[in-house]
A and B are shown apart, each in its own frame.
Chain A
Amino acid sequence: MSLATIDVSQHILGKNEALAKELRDLYAKHGICVVNLLSGPGAGKTSTILATIEALKDSYHIAVIEGDIASDVDAQKVKEHGAQAVQINTGGLCHLEGAMIKRATEILDLNQTDLIIIENVGNLVCTVDFDLGESFKAMILSVPEGHDKPLKYPGIFQARNVILLNKIDTLPVFDFDTDAFYREIDDLNPNAQIFPISATKHDGMDAWITYLTQRIEEARSVALSE
């Protein structure tokens, strides 16, 4: 019997990190822009996806990967709006992992896809540390959830370069302090782009769509230049 210390030096989520890298390379090769969409339950991920499909479906081939704990209602809605949809049931797991995205990606026709939107499980905490190989993460906060959410869940507002503030049509009925919200984001993620929108009323979508279009074109041109 003797004691030894073995140097391991590994990322705790090493398996997931490796899968994410593999996926990122695959998407880059096909020139696909991938958005990992996160929010708490009911903030408007599906509504935002539908409005985005509506705006972009004549210009791009769009696929949606729907993560849900159990149902497939969101995937059905996406199909009705004319996009490819793959449903992942996490079977109780409260976040998506690389392995699930890999299986979903195998079902998609990548040569016929310009944009993949991943609707993550509605969860403000757990989804944050799992890289899915996305081009960027977008986080949705909805007005009814309150302006102090960034102080309570800083991680999810930090890991994202894009924050969509949804349901702005409800501002008159909630005491959401927009200035305080912008100040909090400026402290904890000063480089974030904030897009105020109303997904169901189609307000403020233009700025978001312009930004997304840029990212889609970027992904395309990188693939073409290789």
Chain B
Amino acid sequence: MHEYSIVQGILDAVIPSAQQANANRVLAVRLRIGDMTEVVTESLMFLWDIACEERGELVEGAELVVEEVKPRSACVVCGTEFEHDRLHVRCPKCGSAQTLLLQGRELEITAIDVDV
């Protein structure tokens, strides 16, 4: 995943929210990122500080807090809910392929901590 676009996307969302709240400073940005996406947390972190600096004082020095979300699916055939890794998505109980991903594809900004 191209982390540069991701980081810019985060800042595009965060800055207007902070401005709307009349914040002086963004202290932290909280994300939820699913394991089934291609985002590599380390690369995000790596680019984060540089991108924040570029965008000016409001976000300079903001901390990035990432919650990684483990994939979970539900089997449509037998109703089993199960956690799984990226490589195995079939129902472990009945073997069905008819499963719904409940979580694991998140690319979400949940909240920001600001100084107002």
Contacts and interface: CB of A to CB of B under 8 A. Distances in A.
A203 to B, nearest CB: 28
B106 to A, nearest CB: 9
Interface stretch (A25-33, A185-193, A209-217): A185-193
Interface stretch (A66-74, A124-132, A133-141): A124-132
B45 interface: no
A188 B115 contact: no
Given A7-B111, A12-B10, A125-B1, A188 B21 contact: no
B9 A15 contact: yes
B51 interface: no
B97 interface: yes
A187 B107 contact: no
A204 interface: no
A191 B21 CA distance: 45
Interface of B is mostly: mixed
Question: Chain B CB within 10 Å — which of A6, A12, A151 has the most?
Answer: A12
A6 B36 contact: no
A3 interface: yes
A107 interface: no
A8 B6 contact: no
Interface residues of B, number: 36
B109 A126 contact: no
B17 A6 contact: yes
A95 interface: yes
Contact of A9 (B6, B38, B110, B113): B110
Q: Report the interface size class on chain A.
A: 35 or more
A14 B13 contact: yes
Q: Chain A interface secondary structure, helix, strand, loop or mixed?
A: mixed
A97 interface: yes
Contacts of B110: 7-9
A155 to B, nearest CB: 5
Given A2-B116, A93-B2, A94-B2, A188 B88 contact: yes
B31 A12 contact: yes
B39 interface: yes
A16 interface: yes
Given A4-B114, A126-B38, A187-B88, A10 B18 contact: no
A158 interface: yes
- 7 smallest CB-CB distances across A and B, nearest first, come from A190-B97, A12-B107, A126-B2, A154-B86, A8-B109, A155-B38, A10-B13
6 contacts: A8-B13, A12-B6, A12-B107, A12-B109, A93-B5, A190-B90
Interface of B: 1-2, 5-6, 9-10, 12-14, 17-18, 21, 23-24, 27, 31, 36-39, 86-90, 97, 107-116
Given A1-B115, A8-B14, A187-B87, 5 more contacts: A9-B110, A9-B111, A12-B9, A12-B13, A190-B90
